[in-house]
Amino acid sequence: MSSMEQVAEQLRGKGLKLTPQRRLIIGILLEDRSHPTVDEVYRKVLEVMPEVSRTTVYNTIREMMSLGAVEEAGRFGAGGIRYETSDEPHNHFLCVNCKSLVDVDIPTPEVDDVEERLPGCVVLQRRLTLYGLCAKCRESLESERAAERLPTVEGLGE
């Protein structure tokens, strides 16, 4: 994982200063493993520096991307692009209910013949996304279903 020092060094190389705003935004990005959207990062920034604009947050994320410290994880749910802040190879588990996207450390299956099946294409990255229900959603959906099975007042009338 990139550290604040590495990112600061890279920024300097591009003639950019590690301003307090950038430090805050980069710190949030380096810490956050939830694949946040711009707005999720922005909300956390506002808690500390209410004067920072959403544009500054967006631009800083773009800067981080150009440094290779952040990449797009994809769009899942309605919130727009989710950002990947881990630079370790890993796979994903997406909860189809709450759209939480978590890193899961399992080996990526070999899929060697992709380039044969799709002639002319080239694979740049292999990342598996598993779709399911997170523990929290599974539990709440199961207890909802259990509640539905309980006899209703009408049902008890006979």
Give the footprint of Zn ion on this chain (CB under 5 A): 84, 95, 97-98, 103, 134, 137
* Shortest CB 43 distance to Zn ion, Å: 19
Identify the H or E element spanning 101: strand 101-104
> Rounded distance, CA 121 to CA 117, Å?
9
Q: Which is nearer to Zn ion, 11 or 61 (CB)?
A: 61
* Shortest CB 75 distance to Zn ion, Å: 14
On whether the CB atoms of residues 60 and 22 are closer than 8 A, the answer is yes
Q: Which is nearer to Zn ion, 21 or 97 (CB)?
A: 97
> Rounded distance, CA 7 to CA 20, Å?
14
On whether the CB atoms of residues 28 and 41 are closer than 8 A, the answer is yes
* Shortest CB 47 distance to Zn ion, Å: 24
Q: Which is nearer to Zn ion, 124 or 150 (CB)?
A: 124
Q: Which is nearer to Zn ion, 23 or 90 (CB)?
A: 90
**Alpha helix (H) ranges present in 67-123?**
114-117
* Shortest CB 85 distance to Zn ion, Å: 8
